[in-house]
Amino acid sequence: MIKSIRRILRMHRIFIAQDLKKLMEYKVDFLTGMFGFIIYQTINLIFLWVIFSNIPALKGWTYEQIIFIYGFSLLPKGIDHLFFDHLWNVGYWYIAKGEFDKYLTRPINPLFTVIVERFQVDALGEMVVGIALIASTIGKVSLQWSVLNVILFILILPFATLIYTGIKIITTSVAFWTKRSGQITHVCYLVNDFAKYPTTIYNDVIRNVITYIIPFAFTAFYPASYFITGENPLFNLGGTVIAAVVLMAVGVLLWNKGVSVYESAGS
Amino acid sequence: MRRFFKTYLPFSRAGMQMMLAYRSDFFFHLIGEMLVCIVMYFVWLAVFESSDTQTFMGFSMTDMTVYLFISFVTSYLTYSEGATALGEEIRDGSIVMRMIKPVKFDMTFLFQELGGRVIEVVIALVPMCAAVEIYKYCVTGSVMFDPLYFLLFIISTAIAYLVSFYFNVCYGFTAFFLKNLWGANVLKDAVISFLSGAKIPLAFMPPMLQSVLMLLPFASLSYTPVMIYMGMYDALEILWSVLLQLFWLFALWALSKLIWRLAVKRLCVQGG
């Protein structure tokens, strides 16, 4: 068990090193990508700033609190983008074109190989903005950076990330039956846009969808609101853990089932 | 003229067929974009509920809703990406296939994209405008639909599409230098959504910034048609902003031709 984990980690390092070499080859690429995501987020912030220059609070949430939630939302998104970006290609092209064959011929788990094949450094743009935003609210939102909260903060991030990853694995796996599912992944993924704002601004239908069906609210608003208010740790943090575990379990099951029915493309 | 259409209409047919072949892509993409629009709707709703006044910088919630959805559908229809592949084609040399044929490179892209656009107008624009008009009727209790303004809106949207198309041709060449297409596209889309007023109405910007942005080509992409649709402009303003749109159309067209000639002169395709 430990031996195989060590083997996997070693391979992951080798794959990342390969990607970093590619990066050094195409420096402009890397800078454009990262810069692109930073600008994209900056424009969203200008939007928030314009809104808050006219109202004191958004349904009871102050500017700093919204910024904290927003910054928080970028971290799991960025981490998922950094490590698990390659799943997009599977749903859009690899299965449809039969290129998925190559993963089946290797002596490593296909899901693992797909994931480690790409280390998407563009994501650093999102993560830099996210960290900067959270840092900018220190002392301004009423949360206590106690040792316990810092530990909880660090512990909850991987789970929030796995919500993204789980949803991507589930929707990508659909392609094993339909040949192509990148569009479905795209639509589900865009639902994360709702998570950047307090769920209290939405109507019941949307609130229930982003809480129980495509639970992106647990990637940002719920955990972030625990850190701001200190209320309902069981729901706000526990929900994130449960959502992540359930989605990943369903995702891996569906993926494995999908791999077993995979038929390569003809010609 | 007849010869012109005879040459290029088959490209439109191909574009239409491509659209129908990948219809699920189109639908899911539309739904995805709608989701983002719905998020914005709820954010604005919360803003208006949190505000002491009924209006926000001159916009009522009804105005804001109309703005959001009409601006969404105009940005969607005027979005052009057909020519983005140009830089890529120059790099890998497949551009020669365009050069050895007796057709103009920009017209082939244009007509192919227009083919798909026809379907989008029917599926996206018509229902959206109908929905917005019904919404306005429900809120205000009276019909305020003016066919003349609607016609002007359609004309302005058509020009906006052409501006967007030639902007994209010019941008396509830069893809030759900025190879990271995905990142460069995120950058471009974000900047355009901001500068064109799709993210925040230009009317909400500080006056200085606003007057600069109004002159840039980006305002021609969606802000002008939307303002015309909403009846925010008087006759003189409409005339002025449509002329500005035409100016940018001409400028970007000329620029794209210039870059094309420079690129062709320096093009060096290595053996296949």
**A35-90 pLDDT tens trace:** 888 888 888 888 888 888 888 888 888 888 999 999 999 999 999 999 998 899 89
pLDDT tens digit string along A156-212?
Answer: 999 999 999 999 999 999 999 988 888 899 999 988 888 889 998 999 999 999 999
Kindly tell me the number of DSSP H helices and DSSP E strands found in chain B: 12, 0
Number of domains in chain A: 1
- Cα separation, B42 vs B248, in Å, equals 34
Structural domain boundaries enclosing A57: 2-261
Residue-level pLDDT at B19: 82
Residue pair A176/A258 in contact by the 8 Å Cβ criterion? yes
- Residue B29 pLDDT level (bands cut at 50, 70, 90): confident
Look at residues B25, B117, B76 and name the one whose alpha carbon lies nearest to residue A93: B25
Of B27, B36, B199, the CB nearest to A190: B36
% of chain A exceeding 90 in pLDDT: 39
pLDDT tens digit string along A126-141?
Answer: 899 999 999 888 877 7
Contacts of residue A243, Cβ cutoff 8 Å, sequence gap at least 6: A159, A163, A215, A218
pLDDT tens digit string along B199-208?
Answer: 888 888 888 8
Contact B177 A28 (CB under 8 A): yes
Residue-level pLDDT at A220: 92
Is there a domain that residue A266 lies in? no
Which ipTM value was assigned to this complex?
0.82
Is there a domain that residue A29 lies in? yes
Residue pair A71/A131 in contact by the 8 Å Cβ criterion? yes
What are the two backbone dihedrals, phi and then psi, of residue B198, each rounded to the nearest 5 degrees? Answer: -70, -35
Tell the residue number behind the tokens 């026809």, with chain if given. B118
Total CB pairs under 8 A between chain A and B:
110
- Cα separation, A100 vs A15, in Å, equals 18
Is there a domain that residue A156 lies in? yes
> Where does B76-233 show beta strands of DSSP type E?
none
Q: How many residues does chain B have?
A: 272
CA angle A147, A148, A149 (to 5 degrees): 95
Assess B208–A contact: CB distance below 8 Å, yes or no: no
CA angle B250, B252, B208 (to 5 degrees): 95
% of chain A exceeding 70 in pLDDT: 98
- Cα separation, A204 vs A95, in Å, equals 37
**Is 0.80 surpassed by the pTM of this model?**
yes
For B53, nearest residue in chain A (alpha carbons): A55
Average pLDDT, chain A: 88
Assess B127–A contact: CB distance below 8 Å, yes or no: no
- Cα separation, B195 vs B221, in Å, equals 10
Q: Where do the structural domains in chain B lie, given as residue ranges?
A: 2-266
pLDDT tens digit string along B49-80?
Answer: 888 778 877 888 888 899 999 998 898 888 88
| Rounded mean pLDDT, A207-219 | 92
- Residue B270 pLDDT level (bands cut at 50, 70, 90): low
Q: Which residues in chain B are contacts of A201 at CB distance < 8 A?
A: 42-43, 45-46
Which residues make beta-bridge pairs with A58? A61
**B 2-31 residues with CB below 8 A of A?**
24-25, 27-29, 31
Q: Which residues in chain B are contacts of A40 at CB distance < 8 A?
A: 186-187, 189-190
- Cα separation, B185 vs B183, in Å, equals 5
For B51, nearest residue in chain A (alpha carbons): A55
What does the DSSP assignment read for A127-172? Answer: HHHHHHHHHHHTTTSS----HHHHHHHHHHHHHHHHHHHHHHHHHH
Assess B191–A contact: CB distance below 8 Å, yes or no: yes
